[in-house]
Amino acid sequence: MMSKQINSSPLSSPRSRRREEVLDKRAVWTASVLILLIALVAPINCKAQSEKEPAIIGEGIISTPQDEFGGSLSPDGKTIYFDRSVPAHYLYTMWQSHLVGDKWQSPELMSISGQYRDSDPVLSPDGKKLLFVSDRPVDGVDRHHYEIWICQRPEPDGREGNKWSEPKNLGAVVNAHSQYFASMASSGNLYFSGTIADDESEIDIFVSEFVNGKYTTPKNLGPAINGKGIVNIEAFVSPDEKFLLIGAFNRPDSVGSSDIYVKLQSRWRLERAVTGDSDQYGSA
C-alpha cells in the first residue's frame, strides 16, 4: 500500500480548537447506541431488557487502550467502521474491521483515510453510502473547519472489487459552517449537527431534505432540540425518520457530563434522557 503524507499542521482556528476540546472527551459509545436501537425496535420484555448490559465491541481488537470513538455497523452486522486518533487526539483516521465467525478481525485503515482528520463514519441504511466529516481541503482550498463528505459503492457488502469511491464534498448548501456529525435516512434526507455562523457555544441539529437528487437548504429542528448553550454533537436518525439518537452536552436535564437522548419524530417535541449518571464520552 502506498504510504500517505499526513497533514501535520494542527488546526488553530477557534472553531477547530472547540472541536478538539469536544473530541478529546469522547470514547466509544456505539455499544450503548446499539442497545438503545434494540430496545426501541425489537419486542423485548421488561425483564429481558433490564438484564441487558452494554458490551464492549471487539475488546482488545477494536476497543483498545488507544483512542477509538464512533462506530457504524453494516446492514449484515459483519463490518464495523470507526475512528481512531493517532496519536491520541491529533489525527483522526477511519478504520474498518470484519466479523469472521464470532471474532472481529484486526482493523484496517480505510484507503480513503489517513492524511486528514476524518471523523465519525456513518453508513446509510442500505450500506451503499458512507458519510463522515473531515478537515480535508475542498477544491484545493483549506477551509480550516470540518465539512460533510460522502463515499459510495455499488453493493453494501465488502466483496472484492466493491470499493468505496473517492470522497465527495456535499457542497455549500449543506456545508455552510463547521459540521460535526451526519447520518442519513432511507429517504436520503440528511440529519447533521453543526454550528450557526461562527458561534460554537451552540451546536444545533439540522435536516436537509433530498429532493430530485439534490440536498435542499437545511432546516433547523428547532427549540425542542436546539438552544442557547446546548452542544448537540451526534445526530443519528433511524431509517424511517421516526426517532433521533442525540449525544449532547449542557442540556438542562442532563444526568451526566454528556448524555444520549431519544427524540421522537412527532414534530421533534418528545424527549427523554436515557443515560445514567456517568459521562457518556468517558473522562478527558
User: Is the pLDDT at 253 greater than 60, yes or no?
Assistant: yes
Strand partners, 241: none
Check if the beta carbon of residue 45 is closer than 8 Å to that of residue 65. no
Please tell me the least confidently modeled range out of 76-85, 217-226, 270-279: 270-279
Percent of the chain exceeding pLDDT 70 equals: 71
* Confidence band for 266, pLDDT divided at 50, 70 and 90: low
Position 123 pLDDT exceeds 80: yes
Closest by Cα among 129, 98, 128, 135 to 113:
135
Domain assignments of the chain as residue spans, ordered by start = 14-273
Q: Give the pLDDT of residue 70.
A: 86
| Geometric angle at alpha carbon 63, from 114 and 111, rounded to 5° | 20
What is the model's pTM? 0.79
Alpha-carbon span 53 to 269, nearest angstrom: 29
User: In the predicted model, what is the mean pLDDT of residues 257-266?
Assistant: 82
User: What pLDDT, on the 0 to 100 scale, is given for residue 47?
Assistant: 42
pLDDT digits (tens, 9 = 90+) for 136-173: 999 888 888 899 999 999 887 766 667 899 999 999 99
Q: 87 - beta bridge partners?
A: none
| Per-residue pLDDT at 271 | 45
Beta bridge partners of 169: 149
Phi, psi for 267 (deg, rounded to 5): 60, 20
The CATH-assigned architecture of domain 14-273 is 6 Propeller (2.120)
CB-neighbour burial class of residue 43 (10 A; exposed 0-12, middle 13-18, buried 19+): exposed
* Across 28-37, 120-129, 232-241, 265-274, least confident range: 28-37
